Amino acid sequence: MALAEAILVCLTERPMSGYDLAKNFDASIGFFWRASHQQIYRELGRLREKGYVKSQEVSQNGKPNRIIHTLTPAGQKALRSWSTKPAKHPSIKDDMLVKFYALENMDIDALKDQLTIRMEQHQTKLVKYYRIKERYYDDKPLDLTQKGKLIALEMGIDQEVSMIERLEAAMTKIGNL
Amino acid sequence: MALAEAILVCLTERPMSGYDLAKNFDASIGFFWRASHQQIYRELGRLREKGYVKSQEVSQNGKPNRIIHTLTPAGQKALRSWSTKPAKHPSIKDDMLVKFYALENMDIDALKDQLTIRMEQHQTKLVKYYRIKERYYDDKPLDLTQKGKLIALEMGIDQEVSMIERLEAAMTKIGNL
DNA sequence: TGTATATATGCAAATAGTTGCACATAAAGT
DNA sequence: ACTTTATGTGCAACTATTTGCATATATACA
């Protein structure tokens, strides 16, 4: 499972609370690995047990206390070791494709609506990606860390672009039936 | 969950045994929704409980008995109803992208090897898709059922093509670091 | 005064998916 | 003789994910 590793990766940047991590998963790394805050807190518990992170409570006045999690050398080592293990290809599970596959049993108009919604969602995501790219990576000298994030981001961009193209093509096809 | 629906979809073609379904999930519909035979048998039990399929044992000489599952009118109705419900977008969970995101903590050579393996896997899949397309859909008059399957197949093809392009681009980028 | 949002943590239950095992027969290859 | 492949069904345990709930404080808005 890469949730553990995704968390460790975030913590290589800086020590963070569960809340910070959850926000990261909503914004940056979450584009490649989605996780809810509940999942993150539970996983943090496991990582602490394994000794991959160490956690310390920090008092705050007004707001609830934060628990800051720091990557340990053992955690860093685990991350390196993970990097050499084969990445398993993501399992394709797409309602939409199943619906096309079963077209004769589907409500075509409803399917068209769903296609439209999907396209909009991917469009929104794409815009977000472009904004991040412009803001953080364009016309700037980049170190290895940033180059890696840029490669991931560009893969994300291309993924969304090609997804939108595919959905448009499908829409045309079912429009011409 | 679309596993139930994917099974129902298969059964619209013809009544089948769990074994037949498992083969279908290895070949055709499994390209869009992967499932193991254990998952399928369990789900068939649930579908039977709900009254969406009815099952009857058929004796065979020599081979073990088969249990043939037939779609009921209730099952058909459930399928239609599912088709109007919004398709939820597939959750992206990709080890590889996380690894790029965390490039400075990764073993780059190992990552290159993984990229190569990935490309080969997608290439293999693509070849399979093309073969199916040539064999069943090219230069033939198609009914609605077949047109739907063709659209799904072509989306699969485009998905693989663009995935391979992305992986090649990423390979070039980390080669030039 | 009430409501929504942001900060902050986490349990419990339900659902979904993977992995390992178990039983049973027959044909085809080595 | 032995192994592999194919046919056929299914349980049990484990891992992962989603959804709903629970608690607590502060600020901003209507």
User: What are the pLDDT tens digits along chain A (177 aa)?
Assistant: 789 999 999 999 999 999 999 999 988 899 889 999 999 999 999 999 999 999 998 877 667 789 999 999 999 999 999 999 888 888 788 899 999 999 999 999 999 999 999 999 899 899 989 999 998 899 989 999 999 999 999 999 999 999 999 999 999 999 987
A48 touches strand C (CB under 7 A): no
Asked if B111 is an interface residue toward chain A (Cβ–Cβ < 8 A), one would say yes
**Which of A9, A154, A162 is closest, CB to CB, to B162?**
A162
CB A92 within 8 A of CB B125: no
The predicted structure's pLDDT at residue A143: 93
Mean pLDDT of B72-97: 90
Tokens of A45: 């518990």
**Which has the closest alpha carbon to B133: B167, B162, B165, B160?**
B160
Mean pLDDT of B13-26: 94
B48 touches strand D (CB under 7 A): no
The rounded radius of gyration (Å) of the Cα atoms in chain A is: 20
CB A11 within 8 A of CB A70: yes
CA-to-C1' distance for A144 and C20, Å? 42
Which of residues 45 through 64 in chain A touch B, CB cutoff 8 A?
Answer: none
Average pLDDT, chain B: 92
For residue A58, give the H/E element and its range.
Answer: strand A53-58
Task: Judge whether residue B62 has pLDDT over 80.
Answer: no
Q: How far apart are CA A142 and CA B94, in angstroms?
A: 24
Mean pLDDT of B20-26: 93
Nearest CA in chain A to B161: A162
CB B72 within 8 A of CB B91: no
Which residue's entry shows tokens 């790394």?
A29
B3 touches strand C (CB under 7 A): yes
The predicted structure's pLDDT at residue A54: 95
CB–CB of A148 and B101 under 8 A?
A: yes
The predicted structure's pLDDT at residue A62: 66
Residues listed for chain B = 177
Nucleotide nearest to A2 (CA to C1'): D16
The predicted structure's pLDDT at residue B10: 95
